[in-house]
Amino acid sequence: MDLLLRGIGELATPLGQGARGGAAQGEILTLRNAYVLVRDGRIAKVGEGTPPPFSGEVLDCEGRLVTPGLVDPHTHAVFAGKRVQEFLARAWGERYTGGGILTTVSATRSASEEELVRLAKPRLMAMLAQGVTTVEIKSGYGLTLQDELKMLRAIRRLGEELPLTLVPTFLGAHAFPPELPREKYIQILVEEMIPKVAASGLAKFCDVFCDRGFYTVEEARRILVAARNFGLGIKIHADELSQAGGAELAGELSAVSAEHLLHVSAAGIRALARAGTVAVLLPGTAFVLDEPYPPARKLIEAGVPVALGTDFNPGSCPLASLPFVLSLAVLKLKMSPEEVLTAATLNAAAALGLAQELGTLEPGKRADLVVWKAETFAEIPYWMGQNLVWAVLKGGQAVVAPKA
């Protein structure tokens, strides 16, 4: 099925098939009075001025802004239960120590796969309504083989039932299950869970929460090397709560991404730059926890490609709005609108191993794009907390219909 989007006031997109770091992160192509031709769910042609003669379906964007669909490269969107009391207690001055994860583990273990799907659907539809077309979702609230597989199956079903690309990550090393000694659980992770999760085909990546009070660098290395040996990609929750060496480990293992990085060291930044690892920054979490923001400018100046995600989860960041995170990135991380757009599209896609498939508006890529009620892309972070989405196309299909 063919579709022509015409009357695009501004088309804004990064370019390329891989993550852009340093000055290249701020390079955005903008076209005025533009059009996009979609053929068989993929972008066939992008141009300025009068579109070529066309006989299929036409969508007149009436001067609005068009960008690639946004990509959220870090969420924990599948879970049961809520932590409202913890949220309020923290707001009144209690420091986050991570104990709260086990509250969600208990609720998620009690929930069925069907219940997890039912609970996650409206959360993901709310993300889609705000222009997000690809979402990474981590397991990690099961902490047993059976419950982790249940979460991963729920993610697969959500991907089949919703018009979103969902990327599943196994995060068995999110916390320690209360019923087992630490060393025993790590042994089970390495010898049983990782091989079975890899064999199930339900996860693309393996992630470890490497930080003070969670997994040490040595434990994380052991887990991630095992995951790599079983063919899983590698991600690390790194240096969120302390300067624990997670970024250095991400560089050493050439992880696809290192995520959080609030306390990343200078050596950690150099290690990420050398390895080409994407820094996935999650300023929503720093905002909720009242923590210092990650050093985006230092990372960009060092040539590390920066991506942005929500970290949406029921504890440290009950924030599902990636556009709001883009506002925080401009205000608090001092990123430019150009850098922010690259971070939430191409670089986020690269953090999921999908930069050749999506994340830019170029011929051959999947036709995932958003029509915004805005004239320029700098308005996306500017109009804070508003939903500027006019329409969303996923693989060339209107999945959020044009609205008045």
- Applying CB under 5 A, the residues found at the interface with Zn ion are 311
Give the pairing of strands 29-39 and 42-48: antiparallel
| DSSP class per residue in 144-194 | SHHHHHHHHHHHHHHHHHSSSEEEEEEEEETS--TTS-HHHHHHHIIIIIH
Residue whose C-beta lies closest to Zn ion: 311
Nearest distance, CB of residue 282 and Zn ion, angstroms: 7
Nearest distance, CB of residue 240 and Zn ion, angstroms: 8
CB atoms within 10 A of CB 18: 15
Closer residue to Zn ion in complex, CB, 291/311: 311
Closer residue to Zn ion in complex, CB, 147/311: 311
Beta-bridge partner residues of 138: 169
Closer residue to Zn ion in complex, CB, 245/314: 314
Question: Is residue 177 within 8 Å of 185, Cβ to Cβ?
Answer: yes
Nearest distance, CB of residue 232 and Zn ion, angstroms: 17
- Establish how many alpha carbons lie within 13 A of residue 124's alpha carbon, considering only the half-sphere containing its beta carbon: 32
Find the length of the chain.
Answer: 404
Closer residue to Zn ion in complex, CB, 10/311: 311
Rounded to whole angstroms, the Cα distance separating 140 from 154 reads: 13
Nearest distance, CB of residue 260 and Zn ion, angstroms: 7
- Specify the amino acid at residue 102: L
Closer residue to Zn ion in complex, CB, 61/343: 343
First to last CA, the chain: 25
Nearest distance, CB of residue 281 and Zn ion, angstroms: 12
Q: List the Cα angle 242/254/211 in 5-degree steps.
A: 15
Closer residue to Zn ion in complex, CB, 64/76: 76
Closer residue to Zn ion in complex, CB, 239/311: 311
Local structure of residue 366 (DSSP, 8 states): B
Rounded to whole angstroms, the Cα distance separating 206 from 235 reads: 6
Work out the burial of residue 220: count CB atoms within 10 Å of its CB; fewer than 13 is exposed, 13-18 middle, 19 or more buried. buried
Nearest distance, CB of residue 366 and Zn ion, angstroms: 26
Closer residue to Zn ion in complex, CB, 70/388: 70
Beta strands in 49-116 (DSSP E): 57-60, 65-68, 70-72
Rounded to whole angstroms, the Cα distance separating 60 from 296 reads: 37
Nearest distance, CB of residue 393 and Zn ion, angstroms: 29
Local structure of residue 29 (DSSP, 8 states): E
Nearest distance, CB of residue 237 and Zn ion, angstroms: 6
Closer residue to Zn ion in complex, CB, 147/207: 207
Nearest distance, CB of residue 279 and Zn ion, angstroms: 14
CB atoms within 10 A of CB 401: 8
